[in-house]
Amino acid sequence: MDAATRKQKLIELRNDENNVAMTGIPLRYKGETRTEKVYRIPLDFLIYNKYNGRIGSEVLSYEKQNGDLDAEKPEDRELIEKFLYESKEDRNQTTMKSLLENGQQRYGIVSSDGKIIDGNRRAMLLNRLFHKRDELGYSYQQVEKCKYFLAIILPDDAQEKDMQQLETIYQMGEDDKLDYNPIEKYLKCKELKRLGFSEEDIAGFMSEKPSKVREWLRILKLMEEFLQQYDYDGIYTRLEKTEGPFVDLAGYLDSYEKRGANVSNVDWDYQDSDISDLKLVCFDYIRARYEGKEFRDIAKTGKDGSIFFFKDLWDEFFANHQEKIPVDEESVQEWRESHPREDLSMLLRSRDNEWIARAKGPLTGNLRRYSQRLDDKRESNRPGYLIEQALNKLQAVDQEQDSFLNDPHIEEMVREINKLSYEMKKRFERR
């Protein structure tokens, strides 16, 4: 059914009072509160909003590879339904049970030509219950009510900007935020900015402060730089489970760029190019799915500092990183040519996993070594603690191993230890 036909069907439906399910419903629209009716609409009169905030990352990633989805085409409609169902499968199972037992408890919003603005997930589940009733083991009588969607129908003058505003208010308000994949709120902010909304407007729609919206936009910019670095531009699904490190890194980079109080203990005059190097190193660790204390040791700001705070540590850490971390053996284009039938998101995941398998050892070894040296720096005002740690480790060395006597590097380090201990001994003698 095309847009013109859907629009005519909804006009006819509105003219029949028998289709009214609820009245007196307040709706904030174009700066004023209106009183609307909720109608009982056959699902066949409606189409999904492919860019709804719940599945934006999946749809954008798919379209980057395959071209635009058309929600009017049966095969594309099924794909949108798949994205919606898999976005929160456990939650969808619960909601399906509720819809079956109690019916639709929360009305949606649709445009005058039948595009679902609020309620895409519920509509998908109603469609699933009704059209897959045999597969799910339900009788027609059990699911007959599921062929209708309860919704407000917007006036003819609703523009894309109006619909995006309503979707954000109703879909990403305070009650629903935890039900969304983390990346979706960042993409929604970007889309609203594209439509001309200010940070203050967006904050109001999302029940947030403008400063939070500005932070999200800054984090998304960093995420997109990450994707571009690995030639994954537009494949937002590769950001899955990376929000935490990006939030941390965006804050760190902002502090280093502004040279604020929380980086006053940095012991060298770093330049913008050094900040860029730091960002790219952190991108590699994010790609390898590092997070928590390990990741924060690279760039953390504040009184405890990080490897980047100390020039001697950073220079060596960065040099080792450049030397030892492998590059991708094939470009994304070469991977695609080798696997022409494979989904791009899955293909890039395989590419990442192949790189991680080769990079994990060097990444872990380099970070562990310099994290330990960072801890030593932090404990430098506790000489007794450091001496005790060094003594314990020296006592644990197995001198009977062949490598102890045959490795020239070990001999060099023993001589350096001897030199340091002699200098310390002389200081005691001069007391």
Is 392 domain-assigned?
Answer: no
What would the pLDDT profile of 344-374 be if each residue is shown by its tens digit? 888 889 999 999 999 999 999 999 999 999 9
Q: In which band, very low, low, confident or very high, does the pLDDT at 422 lie, cut at 50, 70 and 90? A: confident
Of 146, 172, 198, the residue that ends a domain is: 172
Residues 317 and 404 occupy one common structural domain: no
- Across the range 387-403, mean pLDDT stands at 79
Is 153 domain-assigned?
Answer: yes
* Least confident piece of the model among 176-190, 215-229, 298-312: 176-190
The answer on pLDDT for 412 being more than 90 is no
Is 224 domain-assigned?
Answer: no
Q: In which band, very low, low, confident or very high, does the pLDDT at 267 lie, cut at 50, 70 and 90? A: very high
What would the pLDDT profile of 35-48 be if each residue is shown by its tens digit? 999 999 999 999 99
* Least confident piece of the model among 212-226, 272-286, 305-319, 370-384: 370-384
Residues 81 and 163 occupy one common structural domain: yes
Residues 424 and 373 occupy one common structural domain: no
Q: What is the mean pLDDT of the chain?
A: 90
- Strands 108-110 vs 148-153: parallel, antiparallel or unpaired: parallel
The answer on pLDDT for 178 being more than 70 is no
What would the pLDDT profile of 123-168 be if each residue is shown by its tens digit? 999 999 999 999 999 999 999 999 999 999 998 777 888 888 888 8
What is the Cα–Cα distance from 397 to 426, expressed in whole angstroms? 25
Residues 423 and 322 occupy one common structural domain: no
Residues 365 and 412 occupy one common structural domain: no
What's the burial of 278, exposed, middle or buried (CB within 10 Å: 0-12/13-18/19+)? buried
The answer on pLDDT for 92 being more than 80 is yes
Is 116 domain-assigned?
Answer: yes
Is 107 domain-assigned?
Answer: yes
φ/ψ of 290, rounded to 5, equals -85, 145
Q: In which band, very low, low, confident or very high, does the pLDDT at 179 lie, cut at 50, 70 and 90? A: low
Of 141, 172, 203, the residue that ends a domain is: 172
Is 191 domain-assigned?
Answer: no
- Of 409 and 112, the structure prediction assigns the larger pLDDT to 112
Residues 321 and 342 occupy one common structural domain: yes
- Please name which of 142, 143, 151 lies closest in space to residue 106, comparing C-alpha atoms: 151
Element (H, E) at 204: helix 199-206
Does the reported pTM lie above 0.85?
A: no
Residues 275 and 363 occupy one common structural domain: yes
Residues 143 and 252 occupy one common structural domain: no
- Of 275 and 397, the structure prediction assigns the larger pLDDT to 275
Residue 413 confidence (pLDDT): 85
The proportion of the chain whose per-residue pLDDT surpasses 90, expressed as a percent, equals 62
Residue 153 confidence (pLDDT): 95
Query: To 10 degrees, the CA torsion angle through 171, 177, 180, 183?
Result: 110
- Please name which of 171, 71, 55 lies closest in space to residue 114, comparing C-alpha atoms: 71
Contact 120, 49 (CB under 8 A): yes
Number of domains, the chain = 3
Residue 427 confidence (pLDDT): 75
Q: In which band, very low, low, confident or very high, does the pLDDT at 382 lie, cut at 50, 70 and 90? A: low
Of 133, 152, 172, the residue that ends a domain is: 172
Q: In which band, very low, low, confident or very high, does the pLDDT at 396 lie, cut at 50, 70 and 90? A: confident
Contact 284, 318 (CB under 8 A): no
- DSSP character string of 219-265: HHHHHHHHHHHTT-TT-GGGGTT-HHHHHHHHHHHHHHHHT-GGGTT
- Of 133 and 330, the structure prediction assigns the larger pLDDT to 133
Give the domain range for residue 25.
Answer: 3-172
Residues 122 and 158 occupy one common structural domain: yes
Distances (CA, A) of 275 to 189, 216, 282: 26, 20, 11
Residues 64 and 150 occupy one common structural domain: yes
Is 321 domain-assigned?
Answer: yes
The proportion of the chain whose per-residue pLDDT surpasses 70, expressed as a percent, equals 96
What is the Cα–Cα distance from 140 to 129, expressed in whole angstroms? 10
Residues 162 and 39 occupy one common structural domain: yes
Q: In which band, very low, low, confident or very high, does the pLDDT at 297 lie, cut at 50, 70 and 90? A: very high
Q: Which SS3 state, helix, strand or coil, does residue 175 take?
A: coil
Is 407 domain-assigned?
Answer: yes
Q: Which SS3 state, helix, strand or coil, does residue 304 take?
A: coil
- Of 407 and 250, the structure prediction assigns the larger pLDDT to 250
Residues 136 and 282 occupy one common structural domain: no
